[in-house]
Chain A
Amino acid sequence: MKEIIKVKNLKSYYVSNILDKKMVVKAVNNITFDIYTNEIVGIAGESGCGKTTLLNTLLGIIDPPLQIFGGEIYYYQNEEGQEKYINFLELEEEEKLKLRWKLVSYVPQGSMNILNPIRKIGKIFLDFAKSQKGLDKNKFEYLLNERLESLKLPLRVKESYSHQLSGGMRQRVAIALATIFKPKIIIADEPTTALDVVMQRDIIDLLSELHEEEKNTMLLVSHDLSIHANICDRIFIMYAGKIVEIGETEDIFKNPLHPYTKFLISSLPKIGDKKIKKSVPGKPPSLSNLPKGCPFHERCPEKMDVCLEKEPKLEWKSNTHAVSCFLYGGDDIQNE
């Protein structure tokens, strides 16, 4: 298994200037991880923990007020036998564009309307294809038909407008659009949010099938842990702009280490379990005004004195399980 994405010390902040006051929101606060080929990784966390910003940064969408304050992202590319790691953030916009959709692609939230309402679907696909220069129209037509069929969409969809499709069909068209060039990496942001349970099942199955067939890598962001349980190989737990735990799905559910993870797991309903569920007390910290020490300590039931002073490092407790918490010993972030 090769690393297909390598993220090192990524810092991605929002800087804004309102009424002469400078505000810095540390949405992605010094994150390091690796993602491998042929796996499905889930990123779980509350709203406002920085998940979306992480995705945007991975896709190279750095629009002000978002700024990169440090770190690197490396993508693995294997073109005609030539292997290399591309330093993504150093690329020009042109080059980033070329990589998007072919190497890494983006499936938006289920509720979003990403299709131009007054343009035929077929034409929209062609518009997106134009990003790849020197495209053969006939070849593309063939690709498109193939993709539509594999997603169980009737070919007449090409002549329709977005408002003529049902919600489920629209989501499939969105997935078709994102995966038309069979990208090696698919990033999905809350693919099941705001969908009913039947459609949720549909989407999850679809993504699963895609993964099976094309052996690609998927990065699923969702606050819904049950989705992660269903389809992901590994899960990253994100909190206040940091990754606090990484592990294989079964491990995370059977043996959660970080107190935050424990809360997330225990709040999931289980059949036959009649215990009263406790949600995490308190609120997540403001990303523009982070407290000193561990970002979770204010809500942590197991906090110790050191947690108020020092920030724990993300450390590997086994080959596959990492956690950033002083409960398991370990260094603080200053030693990095």
Chain B
Amino acid sequence: MIAPLPRLHAVTDDRVVAAGGVAGRAAVLAAAAGPELAVHVRSRVLGGAALLDVARAVGAALAPHGSWLVVNGRADVARAAGARALQLGRGGLAVPDVRRVAPGLAVGRSVHDAAEARAAAAEGADYLVAGPLFATASHPGEPAAGPALLRDAAAAGLPVVAIGGLAPGTARAALDAGAWGVAAVRALWDAPDPVAAARAFLAVLPATPAVAVVVNGESRTVAEGTTLRGLLEQLGLDPRAVVVEHNRHIVRRDALDTARLAAGDAVELVHFVGGG
């Protein structure tokens, strides 16, 4: 995973999805948080096609802001929707199998204890979502694991996103315990002012500045310092299938990891098409 993992994850559940207008609400959050935000599309009841519709709509809303679309559970839906990452829960596919189905996706695993965290790292996951940190209505009856879980999970060597009853006030504690970022359901989707809630979280989280660049003539927001390889990853493009021009200079394939994007950069991604 080359591009930086967002630090604020807005996770949906069936209640949020059923309420409707997820894409519009995601757009509002994305406008406020840009590449700092990942929106997880998650459902236990929707079938593949319905989930794909939601994922695509959310993805389209997020794209101009550089926010990540993460699909939970369904590798096929994640790939078809052009998601940046797949989030695997208990009983989900093994990471190597996901890479067979959907190469190019970042893969996150949800973990609940140190053993699961180590297993996920050994398997090749790109990041972890660890929780529930505090008691949460999203998982009633499940004991809160507390900050110790975060320390154990962070020890596995992957970025850890804390989940479970997080609010801006408790985000600081999560970071101090070793979290890379935080995930929330109610604190974002149920907030009377979601933008204010997002901003309150971001004020506590370390910042990765976002910049506006132009890619194939279209304006996009990316995390400052994103490499060209990271940009291709974000766009789901295979470096072998495109030629990259960065500010009118051609970037060779072996330089894609070192060339970084700055504000106002223009990137052209070209390939061969039929012609006479």
State yes or no: do A and B come from one complex. Answer: no
> Which residues of A come within 8 Å of B, CB atoms?
none
**Which residues of B are at the interface with A, using a C-beta cutoff of 8 A?**
none
